[in-house]
C-alpha cells in the first residue's frame, strides 16, 4: 500500500508541476511575433550602388495586435535619414501587408514568409523593389535590405533589445 501511495503522490506532484509551468510556457509562445515586440537599437550600414557606404544609428519598434505586426525602423547619420513603417498580417507562415518610407515619400506592398526566428519579405512600390530579412532570437536581431531601382544598394542593421 505504501508503494501505491508513493506512486500516486509522485504522479500527482508531476501533474501539479506540469500545470504550474504550462501557462508560462504558453505565454512565451503566444504568437510568432512575441520575441520582436518592443524597442530595439543598434548600428547599421547603408551601401550605395556607386560603392560608397555610410554608418548609421538605428532604432526599431515592433507592436503587435493578434496576427498583425507593426514595424517602425529609423536609421540616421549626419547626412541621411531613413524611416520605414510597415504593417504585416500573418496567415500561417504567409505574410502580407503594406510599407511606407517617410523620408522619400514612397509606399507599396509586402509579401513574405514567416519561419521560426526569421521573416523574409519581398517589397514592391515607390519605383523600386527590395528584399528584406529579419533574423531574430533572444535579445539580438539582424535586418538586411537589398534594393533594386534606387541609388541605395543595401542596408545591414544589427539591433539589441532594450
Predicted confidence at residue 16, as pLDDT, reads: 32
Mean pLDDT of 133-153: 92
CA 91 vs CA 28, 43, 69, 112: distances in Å: 20, 31, 12, 11
**pTM, entire model:** 0.77
Task: Please choose, from the candidates 21, 60, 31, 61, the residue with its C-alpha nearest in 3D space to the C-alpha of residue 44.
Answer: 60
Q: pLDDT tier at 4 (50, 70, 90 boundaries)?
A: very low
pLDDT in tens, 50-67: 999 999 999 999 999 878
Rg (CA), the chain: 21
pLDDT in tens, 85-136: 999 999 999 999 999 988 878 899 999 999 989 999 999 998 889 999 999 9
- Name the one residue in this structure whose C-alpha cell is 524597442: 39
- Name the one residue in this structure whose C-alpha cell is 512575441: 34
The residues facing 144 across adjacent strands are 133, 156
- Domain spanning 38-161: which superfamily? Calycin beta-barrel core domain (2.40.128.20)
Is the confidence at residue 2, as pLDDT, over 70?
A: no
- Domain spans in the chain, listed from the N-terminal domain onward: 1-30, 38-161
Q: Which string of DSSP letters, residue by residue, matches 22-72?
A: HHHHHHHTSSTTTTT-EEEEEEEEEEETTS-EEEEEEEEEEEEETTEEEEE
d(CA 157, CA 134): 9
Amino acid at each position: 500500500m505504501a508503494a501505491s501511495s508513493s506512486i500516486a503522490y509522485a504522479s500527482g506532484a508531476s501533474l501539479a508541476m506540469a500545470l504550474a509551468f504550462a501557462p508560462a510556457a504558453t505565454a512565451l509562445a503566444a504568437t510568432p511575433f512575441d520575441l520582436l515586440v518592443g524597442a530595439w537599437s543598434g548600428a547599421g550600414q547603408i551601401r550605395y550602388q556607386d560603392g560608397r557606404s555610410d554608418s548609421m544609428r538605428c532604432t526599431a519598434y515592433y507592436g503587435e495586435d493578434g496576427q498583425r505586426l507593426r514595424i517602425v525602423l529609423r536609421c540616421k547619420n549626419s547626412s541621411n535619414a531613413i524611416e520605414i513603417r510597415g504593417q504585416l498580417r500573418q496567415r500561417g507562415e504567409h505574410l502580407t501587408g503594406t510599407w511606407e518610407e517617410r523620408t522619400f515619400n514612397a509606399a507599396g506592398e509586402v509579401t513574405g514568409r514567416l519561419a521560426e526566428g526569421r521573416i523574409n519579405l519581398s517589397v514592391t512600390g515607390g519605383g523600386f523593389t527590395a528584399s528584406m530579412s529579419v533574423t531574430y532570437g533572444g535579445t539580438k536581431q539582424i535586418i538586411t535590405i537589398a534594393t533594386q531601382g534606387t541609388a541605395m544598394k543595401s542596408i545591414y542593421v544589427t539591433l539589441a533589445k532594450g
